[in-house]
Structure 1
Amino acid sequence: MHKLAQLDRRYVWHPFTQMRDWLRREPIVIVSGQGAVLRDTHGREYLDANASVWTNLHGHNHPKINAAIRRQLKKIAHSSALGLANEPASLLAEKLVEAANQLNAERGMGSAEWLPARLPGIPRSAFRVPRLNKVFFSDDGSTAMEVALKLAYEFARRTGRGKKPRFLSLAGAYHGDTVGAVSLGHIDLFHKAYAGLLFKSDTVMSPYCYRCPFNRAKPARADARDYRRCNWECVGKVETKFAAQKKRGNPYAAMVVEPLIQGAAGMIPQPAGWLRRVAEIVRGNDAQLIADEVMTGFGRVGQASSLSPVTGNDRSRKHSTDRLEACPTLFACQHEGVQPDFLALAKGMSGGYLPMAATLTTQKVFDEFLGEHEEFKTFFHGHSYTANQLGAAAALASLEILQGSASVRARQRLEQTLREELKTLWSSPNVGDIRQVGLMVGV
């Protein structure tokens, strides 16, 4: 056994790993990578098929990101963001704000023309389009969600939403492993053991068309979202939850969603229009919408124009998709013209190089934390490596690659190839559903 493998077995405790099984075999020790290929201590090569848990966007050892990190390393590797600003983090914040608001700028969202079809009982004025213009940096997806959760909690409390604001999330939700994020999760395998540590949150059914009890369509050899027959009962469940909580006198502070597709729940995609309709309910109840785009962000769900159009009275369809293709979308929410109050980002943010995350929010939320020192309105939260310069430099380089036309075309080709190859699986009688959202797939 290689010496590095021996050291690993002796000292390292791996995440989400049953270590008894791990210790029964020689571990694979990765020593290098190039593109999509990993190499171990014995020179064997492996395809990094899950992109190092959805973090790597452009391949290992990308020359542009390598160069960006080297340039920054010659200046400074890290200085605290507590009381100090730095160059790459400031530039990155600007780029993230531009990307998060890109479709709003292109479409002129906020005008009456762009208000989506509304649900009965929700006033026209309820559907507001917040501009995400404040960025709070952190280290990973869990911390990005923790920031969103704490900000939403305190915002709700300060604006009179209740002494103990409550949160709503989907069945099968997974939003990270810190205590607040776990409290929003509903996968017993991961979360049940820590029940005594957690605050209570509520759950509502996930819109899983293939296994939906309200889908009256007969199973077909196609994506269940395409042949479903229902009356949006899954949306009605969300509306009922909000109404019931409001009746109790303690309205929800926020609803938390993974937009377009739930990952850890089993790659469960939402039917076109679900996210938009749910966003309207959240807005109509004066609650906050938290979008967990840790997994879906940075182009992983494809271009907005590549997804099925929203059904129903969707006024946005009169606009040309050419404008969408000329304006590449990086975030899942943008596929349905939904702008959240909080946008949590991580994983692919640095291109898979360094721990880097961000939580974007609005001026309205930011202003609730402004005050004099003696008012104690400060957001008392942070991390030692928040806004790290090396991570920000890598993220800037990754964004530049990601938004380039070559990367957009490459992702579109990959998406189309994946779609065509997946069709071959229908020949198996064991396959009942194939679900694809961009470059994310469930079978």
Structure 2
Amino acid sequence: MHPLARLDHQYVWHPFTQMRDWLRQEPIVIVAGRGPWLRDVHGREYLDANASIWTNLHGHNHPRLNAALIRQLRKIAHSSALGLANEPASLLAAELVRAAHMPGSGVRPSHQRLSKVFYSDDGSTALEVALKLAYEFTRRTRGPASRPRFLSLQGAYHGDTLGAVALGHIPLFHQTWRGLLFKTDTVMAPYCYRCPYNRARPERADARLYRQCRWECIEVVARQLERQRRMRGEPYAAFVVEPLIQGAAGMIPQPQGWLTRIAELLRLHNTLLIADEVMTGFGRVGLPLPPPRQPDRAPLFACQLENVSPDFLCLAKGLTGGYLPLAATLTTREVFDAFLGRYEEFKTFFHGHSYTANQLGTATALENLRLLRTRASLRARLRLQQALAETLPALWDVPQVGDIRQVGLVVGIELVRDWTTREPFDLREQAGIRVCRAMARRGVLTRPIGNVIVLMPPYCTTPAQIRKIVETLMLACEETLGRPSRARSKSRVRKPSIR
């Protein structure tokens, strides 16, 4: 075992990892990366097929991001945001607001524009900020007797701070902490593949394409909003959602139009919308077709693809292109104004972080936004989106593939025991983990969500590399789950959608 691996085993406790299993084998120790490639201490190279847990946008060791970081380091690494402002944080805030309201983003003139930026450290804290602001804004606008309550989706995951955990509804992750949490409500997610209202029999296609329903998932939300008003005497403070696709829930995509309908319901019920775009932001959910000709008109956020303007926009992960921890919560002037007052009124937002608005992070994020607005980046994202759409259908030849869900540059492949019945693997069988380990042995790194294999490569990944990733996944399934039939299934394979 390499000395660094021994040190890891001796001292490091890894997140979301059963350490008993971890200690049984030598871990992959990464020492370098360039573009979509990572290299370990033994000199082996791997394609980074999940962008280092969904953070890396342009590839590792990008020269422009490196240069931006070095330029800022020559000036100053950090100064406090408590009582002081700084250059890159001010410039970045203006650019984030601009990105949220680019031409054609669909913001309705009647709705408040996102105009204020509160910085924090990661996705969990971005949600914590939105949660606290929405809670106090509701109390200040509805009166001190108000008891703000929040609504989120089944399978929701919004981070690991206690407020964010309270919004989560994944028992495996969240049940342990229930005694520490405040109560939130939940409604069904639009999980077309396993929706009880979807009357369609399984096909070899994304379940959104062949679903047979009457949008009952929307009716369920409408009834819950009305029940809250009737039973508690006031609307929900906010509805929290990952737009277009839920990440840690299992890469569950929403059918086109769902978010727009939900936003309309929330307006009718005077309920705020908190958009958790920690994973979906910065172009990750892809481009509309046909794509815009001008890079600065390309939408960067999932909400924009459905012309929805949230009251809070929570950003992290790809904000710095995968370089440094940084998060931002955007909100409206209306929310901001509710915290203005004389000093002795103590209406201040009493929340903050030691590294709020850190200069190294904000300077790198600023360059990341400039990169996203280049023609080269626009072409790379479109090429990757199309390469995934053209390559993924080969996976229907694998009998254990039940659903393939692509939303732009995000893919979830759900593994099942029998695709004709959608029978799942028991989580204790570790089907997803075993497949990902077999992929790693063949030079492709990703991490499963239960029985769902996630593919979310950096934007610089080429079509040839996408083919390698998909072929590796097929071989890994054959090795760990059994051989596929030589004959393609007789069921019709529908043409995929790259949205």
TM-score higher than 0.5 here? yes
Shift of 1:355: 0.4
Aligned to 1:76: 76
Structure 2 alignment gaps of length 5 or more: 414-499
Shift of 1:8: 1.5
Aligned to 2:302: 332
Structure 1 window deviating more from structure 2 (385-394 vs 296-305): it is: 296-305
Q: How far apart are the structure 2 equivalents of 1:7 and 1:218?
A: 51
Q: Kindly provide the amino acid, as one letter, of the partner of residue 167 in structure 2.
A: L
Q: 2:121 aligns with which of 139, 143, 152?
A: 139
In the alignment, is residue 93 of structure 1 matched against residue 93 of structure 2? yes
Give CA-to-partner distance per residue, 1:233-263, whole Å, 9 cap, x none. 1001111011000002132000000000001
Equivalent pair of 2:105/2:299 in contact (CA under 8 Å): no
Percent sequence identity over aligned pairs: 70
CA spacing shift, 1:239–1:24, aligned 2, 3 Å? same
Equivalent pair of 2:295/2:374 in contact (CA under 8 Å): no
Aligned to 2:151: 168
In the alignment, is residue 398 of structure 1 matched against residue 368 of structure 2? yes
Q: How far apart are the structure 1 equivalents of 2:301 and 2:57?
A: 14
Q: How far apart are the structure 2 equivalents of 1:341 and 1:356?
A: 20
Equivalent pair of 1:153/1:165 in contact (CA under 8 Å): yes
Structure 1 alignment gaps of length 5 or more: 112-127, 307-320
Aligned to 1:150: 132
Aligned to 2:278: 294
Q: How far apart are the structure 2 equivalents of 1:435 and 1:30?
A: 29
Aligned to 1:23: 23
Q: How far apart are the structure 2 equivalents of 1:389 and 1:20?
A: 39
Give CA-to-partner distance per residue, 1:130-187, whole Å, 9 cap, x none. 2100000001000000000000000011111653200000000000000000000000
Q: How far apart are the structure 2 equivalents of 1:70 and 1:322?
A: 33
Q: How far apart are the structure 1 equivalents of 2:281 and 2:3?
A: 38
Q: Kindly provide the amino acid, as one letter, of the partner of residue 209 in structure 2.
A: D
Counterpart of 1:28 in 2: which secondary structure?
Answer: coil
Q: Kindly provide the amino acid, as one letter, of the partner of residue 193 in structure 2.
A: Y
Counterpart of 1:159 in 2: which secondary structure?
Answer: helix
Q: How far apart are the structure 2 equivalents of 1:145 and 1:420?
A: 35
Shift of 1:430: 2.8
Q: How far apart are the structure 1 equivalents of 2:294 and 2:307?
A: 11
Q: Kindly provide the amino acid, as one letter, of the partner of residue 264 in structure 1.
A: A
In the alignment, is residue 427 of structure 1 matched against residue 364 of structure 2? no
Q: How far apart are the structure 1 equivalents of 2:92 and 2:319?
A: 10
Q: How far apart are the structure 1 equivalents of 2:329 and 2:31?
A: 32
Q: How far apart are the structure 2 equivalents of 1:426 and 1:392?
A: 43
Aligned to 1:117: none
TM-score (norm 2): 0.80
Give CA-to-partner distance per residue, 1:363-388, whole Å, 9 cap, x none. 00000000011111000000000000
Q: Kindly provide the amino acid, as one letter, of the partner of residue 70 in structure 1.
A: I
Equivalent pair of 1:34/1:60 in contact (CA under 8 Å): yes
Q: How far apart are the structure 1 equivalents of 2:105 and 2:356?
A: 33
In the alignment, is residue 283 of structure 1 matched against residue 267 of structure 2? yes
CA spacing shift, 1:9–1:432, aligned 2, 3 Å? closer
Equivalent pair of 1:130/1:340 in contact (CA under 8 Å): no
Q: How far apart are the structure 2 equivalents of 1:272 and 1:213?
A: 19
Equivalent pair of 2:155/2:170 in contact (CA under 8 Å): yes
Give CA-to-partner distance per residue, 1:251-284, whole Å, 9 cap, x none. 2000000000001111110001100000011111
Aligned to 2:439: none
Q: How far apart are the structure 2 equivalents of 1:396 and 1:242?
A: 39
Equivalent pair of 1:435/1:442 in contact (CA under 8 Å): yes
Q: 2:342 aligns with which of 349, 372, 390?
A: 372
Aligned to 1:50: 50
Aligned residues: 411
Q: How far apart are the structure 2 equivalents of 1:296 and 1:229?
A: 27
Equivalent pair of 2:286/2:408 in contact (CA under 8 Å): yes
